[in-house]
Amino acid sequence: MTYHPGMALLSYRTAGESHGPGVVSLLEGLPRGVEVDAELIDSELVRRQGGYGRGGRMRIESDHAEFLGGVRLGRTTGAPVAILVPNKDSRLDDLERTPPVERPRPGHADLAGSIKWLTPDCRETLERASARETAGRTAMGALARCFLRELGIEIFGFVRGGGPDPEAMSSIEVTESNWKSLRDARDASAVYMPDHDASERMIASIRQAKIDKDTVGGFVEVHAFGCPPGLGSCVQWDERLDARIAGAIMGIQAFKAVEIGLGTECANRNGSQVHDPIHFDAAKAESAHLGFTRPSNNAGGLEGGMTNGMPVVVRGTMKPISTLLRGLPSVNLVSRSPEESQYERSDISAIAAASVVAENVVALEIARAAREKFGGDSMAEVRSQFASYLELARALPKSE
Ligand code: EPS
Domain extents in the chain:
11-394
Going by their DSSP bridges, the two strands 302-303 and 75-76 should be labelled as: unpaired
Ligand 1: atom nearest CA of 135 is: 17
Read off the pLDDT of residues 37-55 as tens digits, 9 standing for 90 and up.
999 999 999 999 999 999 9
Residue 90 clears pLDDT 60, i.e. is over it: yes
Give the max Cα distance, the chain. Answer: 75
Read off the pLDDT of residues 251-308 as tens digits, 9 standing for 90 and up.
999 999 999 999 999 999 999 999 999 999 999 999 999 999 999 999 999 999 999 9
Q: Is the CB of 131 under 6 A from ligand 1?
A: yes
Q: Is the CB of 346 under 6 A from ligand 1?
A: yes
Mean pLDDT along residues 68-96: 93
Read off the pLDDT of residues 294-331 as tens digits, 9 standing for 90 and up.
999 999 999 999 999 999 999 999 999 999 999 999 99
CA separation (Å) from 142 to 3, 39, 154, 363?
A: 25, 10, 11, 8
Q: Is the CB of 89 under 6 A from ligand 1?
A: yes
Q: How far apart are CA 175 and CA 169, in angstroms?
A: 18
Residue 400 clears pLDDT 90, i.e. is over it: no
CB-based contact 315:362 (threshold 8 Å): no
Supply angle C-alpha 348, 358, 19, rounded to 5.
55
CA dihedral 235→239→243→247, nearest 10 degrees, is 160
pLDDT value at residue 4: 53
Ligand 1 center–CA 325 separation, angstroms: 14
Cβ atoms within 10 Å, residue 210: 16
Whether a cis peptide bond, with omega within 30° of 0, leads into 229 is: no
pLDDT band at residue 345 under the 50/70/90 scheme: confident
Going by their DSSP bridges, the two strands 75-76 and 71-72 should be labelled as: antiparallel
Q: Is the CB of 345 under 6 A from ligand 1?
A: yes
**What whole-number percentage of the chain has pLDDT above 90?**
93
Q: Is the CB of 92 under 6 A from ligand 1?
A: no
Residue 185 clears pLDDT 70, i.e. is over it: yes
CA separation (Å) from 339 to 202, 327, 346?
A: 32, 9, 20
Q: Would you give the DSSP letter of residue 227?
A: P
Mean pLDDT along residues 7-11: 75
Q: Would you give the DSSP letter of residue 272?
A: G
Helix (H) or strand (E) holding 77: none
Q: Is the CB of 87 under 6 A from ligand 1?
A: no
CA separation (Å) from 309 to 153, 173, 185, 281, 346?
A: 11, 18, 26, 13, 41
Q: Is the CB of 330 under 6 A from ligand 1?
A: no
Read off the pLDDT of residues 65-74 as tens digits, 9 standing for 90 and up.
999 999 999 9
pLDDT band at residue 166 under the 50/70/90 scheme: very high
pLDDT value at residue 245: 98
pLDDT value at residue 98: 84
Half-sphere exposure of 39 (CA within 13 A, CB side): 0
pLDDT value at residue 367: 98
Q: How far apart are CA 289 and CA 280, in angstroms?
A: 10
Ligand 1 center–CA 18 separation, angstroms: 7
CA separation (Å) from 168 to 182, 200, 224?
A: 17, 8, 24
Q: Is the CB of 97 under 6 A from ligand 1?
A: no
Give the helix, strand, coil percentages of the chain, each rounded to 5: 35, 20, 45
* Mutate-to-test residue for ligand 1 from 88, 253, 346, highest number of ligand atoms within 8 A of CB: 346
Ligand 1 center–CA 131 separation, angstroms: 6
pLDDT band at residue 399 under the 50/70/90 scheme: confident
pLDDT value at residue 8: 47
CB-based contact 393:230 (threshold 8 Å): yes
**What whole-number percentage of the chain has pLDDT above 70?**
98
Ligand 1 center–CA 133 separation, angstroms: 9
Ligand 1: atom nearest CA of 58 is: 12
Q: Which of 127, 312, 132, 323 is nearest to 210 (CA)?
A: 323
Q: Is the CB of 189 under 6 A from ligand 1?
A: no
Ligand 1: atom nearest CA of 134 is: 18
Return phi, psi of residue 95, to 5°.
-65, -30
Q: 11-394, what's its fold?
A: Chorismate synthase, AroC fold (3.60.150)
Q: Which of 29, 306, 310 is nearest to 144 (CA)?
A: 29
> Hey, which bits of 120-271 come out as E strands?
154-161, 218-225, 255-260
CB-based contact 313:219 (threshold 8 Å): no
Ligand 1 center–CA 87 separation, angstroms: 11
Overall residue count recorded for the chain in this entry: 400
pTM: 0.96
pLDDT value at residue 6: 47
Mean pLDDT along residues 122-151: 97
Three-state DSSP class for 308? coil
Q: Which residues, other chains included, contact 180 with Cβ-Cβ below 8 Å and sequence gap of 6+?
A: none
Q: Would you give the DSSP letter of residue 188?
A: T
Q: Is the CB of 135 under 6 A from ligand 1?
A: yes
Helix (H) or strand (E) holding 102: none
Across the chain, what does the average pLDDT equal? 96
Three-state DSSP class for 301? coil
Three-state DSSP class for 329? strand
Q: Would you give the DSSP letter of residue 25?
A: E
Nearest CA to ligand 1 atom 1: 130
User: 350 exposed, middle or buried (CB, 10 Å; 0-12, 13-18, 19+)?
Assistant: buried
Return phi, psi of residue 310, to 5°.
-85, 160
Residue 7 clears pLDDT 70, i.e. is over it: no
Residue type, 281: D
Q: How far apart are CA 2 and CA 226, in angstroms?
A: 26
